Amino acid sequence: MSEPLYKQSMLRDGALENKVAIITGGGTGLGKAMAMEFARLGSGIIIASRKMDVLEEAAHEISEFGVKVIPISMDIRNPEQVDRMMSQAVSEFGKVDVLVNNAAGNFPVDSLEMSDNAWNAVVGIVLNGTWYCSQRAGKQMVKQGTGGSILNVGASYMWTGGPKTVHSAAAKAGILAMTKSLAVEWAPHRIRVNEIVPGAIEDTGAVRMLWSDEDTAKKVLNNIPAGRFGTSQEVANLASYLVSDYAAFVSGACFVIDSGSCLNKSVF
């Protein structure tokens, strides 16, 4: 029996040909799945995060699609390192068309016990890192005059709230505001800015970190209307569509891909 469609690629071959995409946190989880799919569709790829050994292994796998893949070691909390990443991307490829702000840090912590360091680490990666990368990519896209596409990655607790995630929820809420603000401000430059909000996706860092024990995983699963975790391929398909020219009329939008998990299911 063939795989269900949600585990298969969606866009036609070559849909991202001649594009160059930077994916932060592209060596693992959803970032890697998006990088693999963009590569399959013909895009040149830069994957950037801190651990070079992880990036190199992922780059090797991604390059099997026959596109150029450059791993860059950097910490998105550091604006100078983001500048360096952008310069390296431009010197390797001559341009940047797509940025996916996927990198994130998160760990559950009781807010009354949270240290300033913990707060600053998560807000620094999620909110500041997304801003540094977006602004540098925006400047490069404006300079090129070719337009571009930025895709941010949210989480539904930015709307619903939730225990032990105040640092990440606050930062992700900021990203949604950034998505809409930049979509309007940069529209004259033909730069589109969108956001995806994945639900619980199987075999990813966020799921392992937040719902590591069996009981919690079961509770999370019971709350998913589809009765299953999402797949990385489903997220990668949505991301590919949004960064592609198929979505030329889509900007400032936020797409939730969670089978309705984050909606209020209370009985009255």
Q: Is residue 61 at the binding interface for ligand NAP, with CB under 6 A as the rule? A: no
User: Is 241 an annotated catalytic residue?
Assistant: no
Which one of 24, 165, 244, 261 is in contact with ligand NAP (CB under 6 A)? 24
User: How many chain residues touch ligand NAP (CB under 6 A)?
Assistant: 28
The residue range among 100-108, 140-148, 218-226, 246-254 that interacts with ligand NAP, by the rule CB under 6 A, is: 100-108
Residue 238: name the closest of 146, 102, 58 by CA. Answer: 102
Judged by CB under 6 A, which of 198, 236, 237, 244 binds ligand NAP?
198
Say if CB 160 and CB 221 are below 8 A apart.
no
Cβ burial of 5 (10 Å; 0-12, 13-18, 19+) is exposed
Handedness of CA 116, 118, 119, 124 (dihedral sign): positive
As given in the structure block, the two tokens for residue 47 are 């994957």
Residue type, 91: S
The least distance separating ligand NAP from the CB of residue 107, rounded to whole angstroms, comes to 11
Which of helix, strand or coil describes residue 197?
strand
Closer Cβ to ligand NAP, 20 or 236, answer by number: 236
Q: Contact with ligand NAP (CB under 6 A): which of 15, 28, 150, 238?
A: 28
Residues that bind ligand NAP (CB under 6 A): 24-25, 27-31, 49-51, 54, 75-77, 102-105, 125, 153, 155, 198, 200-201, 204-207
Catalytic positions: 157
